[in-house]
Structure 1
């Protein structure tokens, strides 16, 4: 059968007019692009993030960014040997001075604690007058067990505090920001405790003990100097606790 070419052209023109008259359907938007974001989801709002620092005209302080997660992580590292505790070339001068003051002070205080215990024991064995002077025995020879128990508890607490201060001082050499905060808090609590005992008349050292505690608090200022403070922040952000073979923070 023969097809008329004119009728075929007319049908083609009719189909083209219908296709032109129908509105084009828009392409469905891809998920994520309709909101102006990529396929990974909305971008984080940097302005909404909380600033961990408190800025005083360029001097920045913050709560410690990390804390030890185990007892092993809280203890000083002696990877470079016991002699590594005297290697302080990696520390700024302010922190170095504070470290040596606290290290020597803690060692001397522990030695003094041992001599105090030895003096009490010798007094019990050979010279009861020492016991009378400390209030553990009356002039009539009566043993005051309450005073003895309180003295023993106080001495044990003092030893625990001294050992904690020594441990925190050694961790400060590693640039641990949390150790600096812990040493500061522990010293403040020790001052408050000494003031309470002195006010209650239970502290034999009296004002001298409080004065020593206040001096200890003043010596903490070395760790909060601008250069030392920047070193603590930088060391913590770079990963405090990683020690090289020489015993210095990496």
Structure 2
């Protein structure tokens, strides 16, 4: 749970504007990822009835997607607490989204990859590393 309980999820006082935007991008992206994962679980149930062998693989991929979405939310909460490692981990998540978009685009099944998701995570990552965000992390390190 965030500091201050569930309502702490919405408290972004003291953060520079760029970091607030980045925080909300990561949180909303994580929540949408969780929603997509739950919907994917329903799709897996249908696949189990049609193609059980493929359904197992898809089920594992949906579980990984749910874990990544939950991690985005947790890391965003730690980002708000001025944890440098959370900022680095979210940067790695953005890199992984680039790899997934490239891999997804290479399939001939007509998928164009999740380039929009990558661009959004790229914007959120850039906002975490702009000078005003850097200065906030340095100042927060001195306070903690």
Q: TM-score, normalised by structure 1?
A: 0.51
- Mapping 1:1-250, distance limit 5 Å: 78-121=2-45, 123=46, 137=50, 143=51, 145=53, 147-199=54-106, 201=107, 206-239=111-144
Richer in helix (by share): 2
Q: Deviations over 1:55-81 (max 9, x none)?
A: xxxxxxxxxxxxxxxxxxxxxx63422
The answer for the alignment partner of 1:17 in structure 2 is none
Deviation at 1:144, TM superposition (A): 5.8
Shift of 1:116: 2.2
| CA distance, structure 2, for counterparts of residue 236 and residue 185 of structure 1 | 22
Q: Which runs of 5+ in 2 are unaligned?
A: none
Question: 1:205/1:101 Cα in 2 relative to 1: closer, same or farther (>3 Å)?
Answer: farther
- 1: distance between equivalents of 2:128 and 2:32? 20
Secondary structure of 1:207's counterpart equals: coil
Q: Give the direction of change, closer, same or farther, for the CA distance of 1:144–1:194 in structure 2 (3 Å limit).
A: farther
Q: Residues 216-235 of structure 1: CA distance to partner in whole angstroms, max 9, x if unpaired?
A: 22222221121111101221
Q: 184-193 or 172-181, which moves further after superposition?
A: 184-193
Instruction: Describe the shift of the 1:154–1:92 C-alpha distance in structure 2 as closer, same or farther (beyond 3 A).
Output: same
Provide runs of 4+ in structure 1 moved above 3 Å: none
TM-superposed deviation, 1:107: 0.9
- Tell me: higher relative CO, structure 1 or 2? Use CA pairs within 8 A at least 6 residues apart: 2
Asked whether the 8 Å contact 2:29–2:69 carries over to 1, the reply is no
Offset at residue 186 of structure 1 (A):
1.9
SS at 2:114's partner residue?
Answer: helix
Cα deviation, residue 106, structure 1: 1.2
> Would you say how many aligned residue pairs link Structure 1 and Structure 2?
144
- Provide the C-alpha distance between the structure 2 equivalents of 1:229 and 1:207, rounded to a whole number of angstroms: 34
